[in-house]
Amino acid sequence: MRYWLMKSEPGDCSVDDLAAMPGQTVAWYGVRNYQARNFMRDQMKVGDKVFFYHSNCAEPGIAGLAEVSRLAYPDQTQFDPKNRYFDPKATADTPRWFNVDVRLVKKTRPVGIKELRTYPQLERMRVLQVGNRLSITPVDPREWEFIVRIL
């Protein structure tokens, strides 16, 4: 099993939105970074644990726990010319972008990025590194265990 941090803008899909969805599950669509895509396509497995992270908002940080509930499959938004995630180079035979499904485990207290930065145990966490903009990052098992204890 692996551990991940997956960012979502609350205006697009918040932890509360996920809690209200059928099966409390969402396709993690719209990723348009090759490294993040490769994490989903090549490394994520059903049952992997996820920190659901609110980004690009007043209080960025961890908002819930989730898990991967479906292996990678083609992101349908890449084929829709009316969708902001449309990719004219993608075809059904040669999709470029993939997503996994993520299921909510539980909403947590908000753990903001400012709080995360105060813990020396997390100093190497990828989301805390200067210049990190990836929407999906691996989480070290020790970081996962520490954060789960403080939730």
Phi/psi zone of residue 125: left (φ > 0), alpha (ψ -120 to 50 degrees), beta?
Answer: beta
User: Domain for residue 149, yes or no?
Assistant: no
Report yes or no on 115 lying in a domain: yes
Q: Indicate the pTM of the whole model.
A: 0.96
- Rounded Cα distance between 85 and 68, Å, is 22
Q: What are the CA-CA distances from residue 74 to residues 23, 71, 100 (Å)?
A: 20, 10, 9
Would you say residue 145 lies in a domain?
A: no
What would the mean pLDDT of 117-144 be, rounded to a whole number? Answer: 96
Domain with residue 43: its CATH number is 3.10.590.10
Whether 150 is in a domain gets the answer no
Partners of residue 8 on adjacent β-strands: 54
Name the residue range of residue 99's domain.
Answer: 3-138
User: Could you tell me the pLDDT band of residue 98, with boundaries at 50, 70 and 90?
Assistant: very high
Contact yes or no for 72/99 (Cβ under 8 A): yes
Q: E-strand spans in 2-149?
A: 3-8, 25-27, 49-54, 61-74, 98-112, 136-138
Whether 39 contacts 4, CB under 8 Å = yes
**pLDDT for position 28:** 97
What was the pLDDT predicted at 37?
98
Tally of domains in the chain:
1
Q: Is 148 contained in some domain?
A: no
